[in-house]
Amino acid sequence: MKHTNGASTERFIYPLTFDPVFKDYPWGGRNLAIKLGRTIPDGIVAESWDIAAHTHGSSVVNTGPLAGKTLPEVQALLGEALLGDRNDQALAAGKFPLLIKILDANRWLSVQVHPDDAYGLAHEDEPGKTEMWVVLHADPGAELIYGFAPGMTRAHYAEVIGTDASVDSLHRVPVKPGDVIFVPSGTVHALGPGIIVAEIQQNSDSTYRIWDWGRPRPLHLEKSLDVLNFSQVQPGPATPTVLLDEEGLRIEQLVRCPYFETERITLPAGHHYYGLCDGSTFEIWAVVQGKAALDSNAASLTLQAVQWVLLPAELGEYQISAEEDAVLLRVVTPENEG
């Protein structure tokens, strides 16, 4: 077990749950309470930053010996024991590599784009932002903007960007619960009304607004044109790769990119998943449907939809048991990180 300042950190290695950070952006609503049964503050709630370690908001551990500490404070204390040896860049930077959110799109989000790492570091003093969504809820007819329609060029888009016409040549995709949308940096995108998503992303808050539906917020037109990928033409939802499908247990790889690897596990009631945090990477788990118990040598807890837990890289063996039919997400950092 790693040591910090000469003291063993073993008692701090246990499954970590957090109090989230809430954001009241104007496109939010009340559906995190109404649809997901979450406890949220009064007023508009657009985002719940569930596992966050950013200067714009850091989640706070809510149980165990680390209760009251922010995630950056936990990383400073545990270092590699938390992140794992795959995450040298994050350890050197002193910055947790991922940011986990739940978004409630009660109105259209701004039409927007995120920079890549090189542009983000040069212009925003932080890495870029590649992200993915797992759709948790979608009203009938709900849609999102994702990439360009055929025929759009940078020169033509430069003529209309920042106006109502910004949205005319964008690709719209109808979505339903369970759909997976991968949004690499450079992709024009916007969530539409009636959609709730789980968002897994790089730990960055750099967003360039192209059009905000008339809301009086700043637009970032020159930077948007710098980073937009005009080869993203009519993309569709990701197609999961089935890794295992037997006796009701189903494991699908949803997205694998240099920043995160996400799997979806369908676990029937009474079934178990056995895992090992072997020191290479932390693991983030969520129950997005149903109810499941997580047991390890350090601690046990029960998770219901939609709750997340962070497993430190040196946690060791653990077991997840479905107390009722459950669907879970598992997020790790891949070996070819960043």
Catalytic residue numbers read: 209
155 in Cβ contact with 223 (< 8 Å): no
CA distances to 56, 114, 233 from 236, rounded to whole Å, are: 31, 18, 9
The rounded distance, in Å, linking the Cα atoms of 164 and 204 is: 28
Cis amide prior to 167 (ω within 30 degrees): no
Calculate the CA 223 to chain-centre distance.
Answer: 24
DSSP notation for 1-69: --EETTEE-GGG-S-B-EE-EEE--TT-BSHHHHTT-----SS-B-EEEEE-EETTEE-EE-SSTTTT-
Residue 204 tokens read as 């960055």
The rounded distance, in Å, linking the Cα atoms of 155 and 225 is: 10
Phi, psi at residue 151, to the nearest 5°?
Answer: 95, -10
Residue 95 tokens read as 């910055």
SS3 73: helix
Tell me which residue has tokens 């947790």.
Answer: 96
309 in Cβ contact with 285 (< 8 Å): yes
Of 230, 244, 214, 119, the residue nearest 169 (C-alpha): 230
CA distances to 19, 104, 207, 252, 253 from 45, rounded to whole Å, are: 15, 7, 19, 31, 30
